[in-house]
Structure 1
Amino acid sequence: MVSKLIHWAVDNVLIVLLATVILAGAGFYAFTHVNVEAYPDPAPAIVEVIAQYPGRSAEEMERLVTIPLEVSLAGMPGLKYTRTKSLFGLTYINNQFEYGVDYQKARQETINRMQMADLPDGVSPQISPRSPIGEILRYSITSPKDAFGKSLYTLTDLRALQGWTLEREFRRIPGIADATTFGGAVKRYEIQPDPDRMKRYGITLSQLMQAVADSNANIGGDYLVQGETAAVVRGLGLIGRGRDPMQKILSMSDPEEAATYLRREEQRRLREIRQIVISSTNNIPVRVGDVVEGGPLPPGQETSTRGVVIGNPTRLGKVALSRPLRDGSGRIVVADRDGEKQRIWVDEDETVQGVVLLRKGAESLPALKLVKAKIDELNNTPGRLPPGVRIEPFYDRTELINTTTDTVHENLFVGILLVTVILLMFLSNVRSALIIAINLPLALLFAFEMLYLRGQSANLLSIGAVDFGIVIDSTVIMVENIYRVLSSHQYEDLPFRERIRLAAREIERSLLFSTLIMVCALLPLLTMTGAEGQLFRPMAETYAFALGGALILALTVAPVMCLLLFKKLTPRPDNFLVRFLKRGYLRNLEYCLNHRWFAVGGFCLLIAITVASLPFLGREFIPPLEEGHVFVRAIFPVSVSLEQNSEKSRLARTLLRNHPEVEAVVCQLGRPDSGADPTGFYSAEFFVPLKPQEDWPATVPETGWKRWFRSTRRRAKPELIAAMNAELTEALPGLNWNFSQVIRDNVLEVMSGVQGENSVKIIGHDIVELEELGKTVMARIRTVPGVKDVGIYRTMGQTNLELPIDRHKCSLWNVSVADVHNVIQTAIGGKTVSQMIEGEKSFDITVRWPKRLRSDESMILDIPVDVTDHRVSQSQTAGMTATPFFGQTTGISASGFSSTLPSLTGSMFSTEILGSISLPRERLRDLITPIGEDRDGPLDPDGSFVRSGASLIQREMGQRIIAVKFSVRGRDLASTVAAARRSVTDLIPKGYRTEWSGEFQQMEEGEGRLLVIIPISLALVFVLLYLAFHSLLDAVMVFSNVLALSMGGVWALLFTGINFSISAAVGFTSIFGVAIMDGLLLISSFNQLRALGLPLRQAILEGAEKRVRPVMMTALTAIFGLLPAAVSVKIGAQNQRPLAVVVVGSMLTTLFLTRYLMPVLYSFYGHREPPAGSGSMAH
């Protein structure tokens, strides 16, 4: 079949050339249209569930929300882990499914199961749109400034714009899952009642709330039919008529005018709220403005900062931003300070940030183009944003994709150029090198076609890690053999076309068989699962596509090109380089054959040295995928306030921005209102984009021999991180700092459940004991060399003001627990009573005590509680005289008096009597009693209301855990974790256990899978070798080449100081096929010559000499094909480098070791008669 294909190609030159042109055109189209990603998504299907229950403690969230959801979600098909976090007002659930489970099916199954959970009223769990690599763009919303530098628009304005306009705009873009918000303040209209004024007017809290709710609505009547027409009858009672003032300002051009109009409209709505009537006595209305803080507004006063105001719920987080000042053309403004050019920084302590999230599995670049087009449209189209407001992106995945793509293109271009030079050096024939050089990009384009047809994306690993020097081996062998036949006198009596056919047929079987073996050697990559499968299986598939395309090209295009270009090729001897290499090789080979026991002994010694050096070879999962920025996380004490965190983080922001390599600094404190990031006020995250590395200043003095060439150099990124860590630790001692990158951090967090690169999870039942064990383990592993950024996500430590309701005291006043709870909830956090409708927007109208009445424990305990259905004694009403009433008192149903409350006007009683009959109330402290030291014990009047509680309760698969997170720097991951494991073994008591997760867990799982897959793959290759040789000795001999090349890979890793990783393992599997192919062809050549009757020594020497040029060419093309990737330090090269170093080191071993080893080993058993057919692979 293969020979027929070659014959057909040689006989149909025009068709082959036209097909090649079509292949090139289709490949170029695929190359320009295939989706490109920086890195593949290593995570399986992960569905995150968020449920918010404001005001509930971590323990209550665990009991009321987390556990019911855990039970409902348990047992979903393909579910591997369920990890949960319970903290104040929030439950977060991470459902990690097995690899291969479809995300959409997992998501739908989760939604179905959530409906079965028995949850408290008002709790509605939601699916988070976040994915590990979903953050593709971040932006801030900037407001114009007035003459004093103050923002014209408030944080509530910008937050409303983001939440009600921008989020909707971005969600409509194909491929975008959501645009989440961080920072700003959620706008609400806040009524702040004055308890003294409410008491004076006899108004209860429930009356106030009911009155506001009843006074803010539209109603529908019915149709009013008048003759031939019908009109709809409506009652319009919405505050502000439901109109959106934002729509009005969109048509304005002056930012100051627009901001003034917004403030004026807000004040008009606040005045309307003040005019709401709560009740009336003797036809005298009691309005909201009469009972709020500050009382009614004086005549002529339009605005007030008390009583009824624009407020916001307690902020859960905030965002600050530092970036260089830019002029109108976008250039950074610099100033001369102390003789140095320094950037001028703009610090925004408060801003609103938007994060655009990519839908799981969607293509990044098309979505990013649409997002940026939408931003340009919003910024530049009048009437889309308020005057002066702009959307300013500060992080864009496009830059990372372009940078990594440029790195890949550069490495490929340089590699192709070096391969072409090597071919010219060995063949001394431009036409031969041209044929091979043409086939190389054609094989690449063929691989792109396959990717495009399969709907797969290209990425740094799938393209950049493919060694095209290895891929074109089949073309090299084909062209070299045809060139050898034509340049010699072989078949010289036959026609030119027939000579090419015979030259091609000589190697058709060996090409097909060797390619099949190389594909079989890729089976470990093709069958990879887990995170390493997500990362490297696309590379193996691309490799297989390129190998298949190269084989087809070698069997069709290469003979046709030789037919066209070699017509006038005259016989010529080998060039000087080949002759020189052959002489040197044969001289050394004869020496080895003459001292073969010494050669074998030296080889065994090298094996022993290599095995002895393995413990010094560090291990890690995969090298960090460079993203061009630094992600810094600080953990403050659990009970820290948002304001205190903000003050300390301002200093940290300043320290980070002072590094000249830094482009900007974005600080995120706390968590977003959506709950997508489950953390508290104690969390501070700094996103630090860096300049391109070529723009980093050379500030580090050079050392050693390098000083001869330059005096200073740029800092390496680890040096920059070390400097940042030292400065932050010195300026803010006692805090734990962690350094990572956004994508890496997100991936490791969702796959391990812990915010950190690695962690040790302590599993048990008692959260107090877990806390103590966590502190002990943290102190112990901190002493292990290589362990950095050690920290603990504390379970306890949250200060709680607990107000236990005393049921006995409540019964004396006929007050229910619900009444007291209602007062606590309303007074402290605020209770929503209605919605302010503004066009498509709606904002809460809440009732909340003034801050002066809830600012500390004593004031909170003095909060009044209305007493209902309490009879006023006769002594309280003695001395009262008749009061003439004009009209009936209304709306005082909650007062519970046995007699009607007199009016404040026209009453005939003294002020003393007024106080005695006013609405009865009790203070909160009179209805509660502290709990004693025993939380489960009885109430204790001598106890304290303040106690420490849980801040964060983590669970995994239904069990409580506490996590101690850490990073590893300056040492390999495997040995560091092994040492840490040994150090904590004696600390864990019975009933508790530890689990090490994060990058280390991924490494162990990946290595475990490779230990199963690689032997199976090698066994399959061994079977193929036996079928090829029909000799066990020959098959074992070829297999020894794998061992020899593997030694070269190990030495290369040790020499360069690179740890063994999954990437390096992929490099080893890549060279298995090359090692077996080279050994196959060499042993087959020996067998062929032996079958012709040559003596053993002569057969070895002639067979080895015949293989000098092809072996040297294939080895050097493989080396130089990946050499650029092996030495590159640019963004995108970090993950390729271990693979490339292994391939280069292994192929160097071919040049200096295996070319001598295999002939020597063959000399020990080659006297036997070669099995029939064992030399058919000689070419």
Structure 2
Amino acid sequence: MLSYIINFSIKNKFIVLLFTTFIIGFGLYSLSQIPIGAVPDVTNNQVQVITTSRNLSTQDMEQFITYPVELEMANLPGVIEIRSISKFGLSVVTIVFNDAMGTFLPRQLIAEKIKSSKRFPKVLVRQKWDITTGLGEIYQYILDVEPEFKNSYNAEDLRTIQDWVVKRQLSGIPGVVEVNTWGGFLKQYEVAIDTEKLNAMAISARDVFTALEMNNSVSGGGYIEKVNQAFFIRGEGLVSSLEDIRNIVVKNTDGLPIYIKDVAKVGFGSATRFGAITGNGEGEKVLGQVMMLKDANSKKVIEAVKERVAEISKSLPEGVYINAFLDRSELIAKTTFTVTENLVLGCLIVIFVLVLLLGNFRSGLVVASVIPLCLLFALSFMYIFGVDANLMSLGAIDFGIIIDGAVIIVEYIAFQITQKKLEINALSRTERQVFKDNITIKGASKMMNSAIFGQLIILIVFIPILSLSGVEGKMFKPMALTFSFALIGAMIFCFTYVPVVASLFLKPSNATHKNVSVKLMNWLNKIYEPTIDWALRSKKLVLGIAGTFLAISIYLYSTMGGEFVPTLDEGDFVIQPILKTGTSLSNTVKTATEIEKILLKQFPEVKQVVTRIGAAEVPTDPMSMEESDVIIVLNPKNEWTSASSKDELADKFKEALAVIPGMEVEFTQPIEMRFNELITGVRADIAIKIFGDDLDILAKKGNEIGALIENVPGAADVSVEKIAGLPEMNVQYNRAKIARYGLNIQELNDMVSMGFAGKSAGSVFEGEKRFDLVVRLDKDKRQDIDNLENLYVDLPSGGKIPLSELAEISYQKGAAKISRDDTRRRIVVALMCVIGIYNL
């Protein structure tokens, strides 16, 4: 079979060369189309059901949202694992599906299940499940202000610009699934009611709310035909300014109207915040996070985003600019450069060794020409089978192994042609080519079996890797596939392209001429022959030395330790400060700003520092207000002066930050942190999970384990997940008193929710911009537990009564976070290890 193919190739050289040209063309096309990334996306096939509700505590989110979602999803087909996190106002349920389920079917099943379920209350504010992965955060930026305009814009202005200018223009880019906003103050039109004035004028809070709803609407009345025209009727009753809101009538008493301005302060406010952004020690900023669609080409998407950012920058208000601090294209560029450099250098080294050892310049070039052809062949099949180009897939190609078969064939053909030099020279040009063709057919046919057998052995070695699944499969299968594609290409070229080129370009060489290659091989033989002779005469000694080295190797291997893959140096740091449970947002902002100032002042290696605090608008990363990610963007390593390695720099960072009392820090990297969290639900390298029902016992056992492993060698940072101790103002209703006054729990809860969290009574439009019109208590009336106790509730009989008469209100400690794995409550002891970093 192989001999027939070789014979056909020699007889039809034009077809073979045409086939080779097609491979070159399609390979170059594939190179321009293939997705290019830094590392394989090892995120499992998961869907995050994110639910937000501004009014529910951690326990309530767990009871009414998280647990019912878990129960509904447990019986869906293809579900492998379910884990969840419940926090104040936030529920994140992660459902991991079998990869064979695909991307869209799980989301469709989840949407249908949630829509048809009757388990969920009417408190859901938002539920969504974006189609993105751990590598989805491709571009992050902050809206910054030039120094001369610092006093012209505040965090609320920047948030409005982000929501209604930048975000809208970034949306719609192919490959972008979400533009997430983080930080700033979400602008609202606020009606801050004064309960004392309401009492004096016998007006209820519900009257105010109803008046706002009834005086902010639009309507239409069809049309009227007149003078051959249709005049459409439009009733425009939307409020458009603060003055319009102030002049809304709440009640008319004895012909005298009582306006909103008589019982409330009308102005601009902001929504309750669960997160913030600080940057470069300058205070609060606004962050935008561009999320990439799953399986999209990250390089192309980032290029499109950067082009759009350049366009948006021209339309921003004077003094405002987009400061991109985390751009995945930089890591991709470094990775691509590393892979390209390795491929080019490897190719040149192999060519040099080939020419040097074969002793024939033409033979060396013929074999060397197989290298780019195999690479283009592999790229073609990577494009066809959807394998991304990254550090793992392309970085593992070994050209020396790939060209083994070509070396055997070409060397033998060159030897045969040189042996028959006199016969070839005696023939005419046409006869000479026919004679060389026959030599090539016989030589290639004779050596092909050996060449194919060696290459098949290598292919068989990759079968176990190709059978891997899960995270291991996503990480290593691209490497095995790419190498296999290149090896298959080499096998095909060995009995098509190589014989054709060898018959056309190889010429007899001077067998008596001793060139550098011959002299080198003679010198190596002089060393090898006495060495092998001594080894054969000293069998026991050689075997003893080999056994000793084997024993030493086994011992060293048993003490080395190991890891899944070397940690990739992403070029940036992430510091995770650990603060006291229940720390206020303003205090976390203050601490983060202090961290940024210390790092920027003391370390010239630091280019920028941006801190993400708490949860974003779409909380894919569910952090509490005391939790934050301090993202440190570093200058190029050749500009470093304080340290020579990242581990050393991390130690110095930790020393410098030790001046901040009551704070511990953990070090990681952006992609590494995101992968750890999405795959295992924990950000750390090693996690110990403890399961149980009682949160207090879990917290106690977690602290005990944390203390035990704190001094384990190699444990860099140990932290215990904080699941209890969240400060709460607990309202315990007295049902007997509530029944006596003719009230119900729902009315009281609505009053508490509206008074402190605020309740939307409609929207106010500023052109295309849309802002909520919210009713809540005045800011001075929602500062302390006394304000909650003295919150007046409207009675059905007409009068008012303070909430303290209907409930016992006290300070308590509640659940800070409730985590589950497959419906079992758990606590995590996270361990960051001291590990080597693979530097690009």
Q: Common fold, TM-score beyond 0.5? A: yes
Q: Return the offset for 1:843.
A: 1.6
1:416-437 Cα deviation digits (max 9, x unpaired): 1211221232122222221122
**Amino acid aligned to 1:788:** A
Matched, 1:752 2:668: no
CA distance in 2, matches of 1:644, 1:388: 29
1:289-345 Cα deviation digits (max 9, x unpaired): 1112xxxxxxxxxxxxxx1110012211111112xxxxxxxxxxxxxxxxxxxxxxx
2:484 to 544, 547, 556: 544
CA distance in 1, matches of 2:132, 2:665: 25
1:474-507 Cα deviation digits (max 9, x unpaired): 1112122223333446997994433333222221
Q: Which residue of 2 aligns with 1:46?
A: 46
Q: Which residue of 2 aligns with 1:682?
A: 626
1:289 to 238, 261, 273: 261
Q: Contact between 1:761 and 1:962, CA under 8 Å: does it hold in 2?
A: yes
CA distance in 1, matches of 2:472, 2:361: 42
Q: CA 1:604 to 1:233, structure 2 compared with 1: closer, same or farther past 3 Å?
A: same
SS at 1:218 equivalent: strand
**Amino acid aligned to 1:357:** M
Q: CA 1:558 to 1:668, structure 2 compared with 1: closer, same or farther past 3 Å?
A: same
1:924 to 803, 808, 819: 803
2:608 to 664, 671, 682: 664
Q: Contact between 1:114 and 1:125, CA under 8 Å: does it hold in 2?
A: no
TM-score (norm 2): 0.94
Q: Contact between 2:393 and 2:480, CA under 8 Å: does it hold in 1?
A: yes
Q: Contact between 1:170 and 1:178, CA under 8 Å: does it hold in 2?
A: no
CA distance in 1, matches of 2:544, 2:683: 52
Q: Which residue of 1 aligns with 2:549?
A: 606
Q: Contact between 2:360 and 2:509, CA under 8 Å: does it hold in 1?
A: no
Q: Which residue of 2 aligns with 1:394?
A: 325
SS at 2:699 equivalent: helix
Q: CA 1:222 to 1:22, structure 2 compared with 1: closer, same or farther past 3 Å?
A: closer
More strand, by proportion: 2
Q: Contact between 2:603 and 2:642, CA under 8 Å: does it hold in 1?
A: no
**Amino acid aligned to 1:135:** E
CA distance in 1, matches of 2:100, 2:421: 55
Structure 1 residues without counterparts, runs of 5 or longer: 241-268, 293-306, 323-346, 701-714, 870-894, 896-919, 931-944, 971-1057, 1060-1128, 1132-1179
SS at 1:139 equivalent: strand
Q: Which residue of 1 aligns with 2:220?
A: 220
Q: CA 1:526 to 1:969, structure 2 compared with 1: closer, same or farther past 3 Å?
A: same
Matched, 1:316 2:318: no
CA distance in 1, matches of 2:598, 2:206: 51
Q: Contact between 1:796 and 1:949, CA under 8 Å: does it hold in 2?
A: yes
Q: Map 1:821-832; keep pairs closer than 5 Å.
A: 821-832=749-760
Q: Return the offset for 1:165.
A: 4.0
Q: Which residue of 1 aligns with 2:706?
A: 778
CA distance in 2, matches of 1:413, 1:677: 40
1:582 to 521, 525, 529: 525
Q: Which residue of 1 aligns with 2:61?
A: 61
Q: Which residue of 2 aligns with 1:724?
A: 653
Q: Which residue of 2 aligns with 1:373?
A: 307
CA distance in 1, matches of 2:386, 2:748: 61
**Amino acid aligned to 1:808:** A
1:270 to 238, 242, 248: 242
**Amino acid aligned to 1:522:** F
1:129-160 Cα deviation digits (max 9, x unpaired): 5421101111122346666x31x234333323
Give the stretch that moved more between structures: 107-116 or 133-142. Answer: 107-116
1:809-840 Cα deviation digits (max 9, x unpaired): 33443333333223222222222222213344
1:528-575 Cα deviation digits (max 9, x unpaired): 212121122111111111111112222233233332333232324671
CA distance in 1, matches of 2:23, 2:615: 52
Q: Contact between 1:139 and 1:393, CA under 8 Å: does it hold in 2?
A: yes
Q: Return the offset for 1:471.
A: 0.9
CA distance in 2, matches of 1:22, 1:676: 46
Q: Contact between 2:466 and 2:481, CA under 8 Å: does it hold in 1?
A: yes
Q: In angstroms, what is the RMSD of aligned CA positions?
A: 2.2
Q: Which residue of 1 aligns with 2:778?
A: 850
CA distance in 2, matches of 1:129, 1:505: 53
1:20-56 Cα deviation digits (max 9, x unpaired): 3343233223223322111110112110011112221
Give the stretch that moved more between structures: 217-226 or 394-403. Answer: 217-226
CA distance in 2, matches of 1:925, 1:533: 60
Q: Which residue of 2 aligns with 1:640?
A: 583
Q: Contact between 1:45 and 1:106, CA under 8 Å: does it hold in 2?
A: no
Matched, 1:535 2:475: yes
1:1067-1104 Cα deviation digits (max 9, x unpaired): xxxxxxxxxxxxxxxxxxxxxxxxxxxxxxxxxxxxxx
CA distance in 2, matches of 1:100, 1:218: 50
Q: Map 1:186-335; keep pairs closer than 5 Å.
A: 186-226=186-226, 228-240=228-240, 269-292=241-264, 307-322=265-280
1:360-413 Cα deviation digits (max 9, x unpaired): 111111211211111112223xxx444443333222111111111111111111
Q: Contact between 1:80 and 1:97, CA under 8 Å: does it hold in 2?
A: yes
Q: Return the offset for 1:621.
A: 1.1
Q: Return the offset for 1:470.
A: 1.0
SS at 2:134 equivalent: coil
CA distance in 1, matches of 2:140, 2:393: 27
**Amino acid aligned to 1:5:** I
Q: Which residue of 1 aligns with 2:427?
A: none
2:407 to 463, 476, 488: 476
Q: CA 1:585 to 1:861, structure 2 compared with 1: closer, same or farther past 3 Å?
A: same
Q: Contact between 1:180 and 1:357, CA under 8 Å: does it hold in 2?
A: yes
Q: Map 1:969-988; keep pairs closer than 5 Å.
A: 969=834
Q: Map 1:558-957; keep pairs closer than 5 Å.
A: 558-572=498-512, 575-657=518-600, 658-693=602-637, 695-699=638-642, 715-728=644-657, 730-869=658-797, 895=798, 920-929=799-808, 945-957=810-822
Quote the sequence identity (%): 31
CA distance in 2, matches of 1:154, 1:678: 26
**Amino acid aligned to 2:368:** A
Aligned pair count? 825
**Amino acid aligned to 1:450:** F
CA distance in 2, matches of 1:604, 1:469: 29
Structure 1 runs of 4+ aligned residues shifted over 6 Å read 489-494
Q: Which residue of 1 aligns with 2:429?
A: none
Q: Which residue of 2 aligns with 1:448?
A: 379
Q: Which residue of 1 aligns with 2:447?
A: 507
CA distance in 1, matches of 2:223, 2:436: 98
Q: Return the offset for 1:670.
A: 1.2
Q: Return the offset for 1:665.
A: 0.8
Q: Return the offset for 1:797.
A: 0.7
Q: Contact between 2:417 and 2:508, CA under 8 Å: does it hold in 1?
A: no
Give the stretch that moved more between structures: 2-11 or 51-60. Answer: 2-11
Q: Which residue of 2 aligns with 1:350?
A: 284
Q: Contact between 2:278 and 2:592, CA under 8 Å: does it hold in 1?
A: no
Q: Return the offset for 1:228.
A: 4.2
SS at 2:554 equivalent: helix
**Amino acid aligned to 1:949:** G
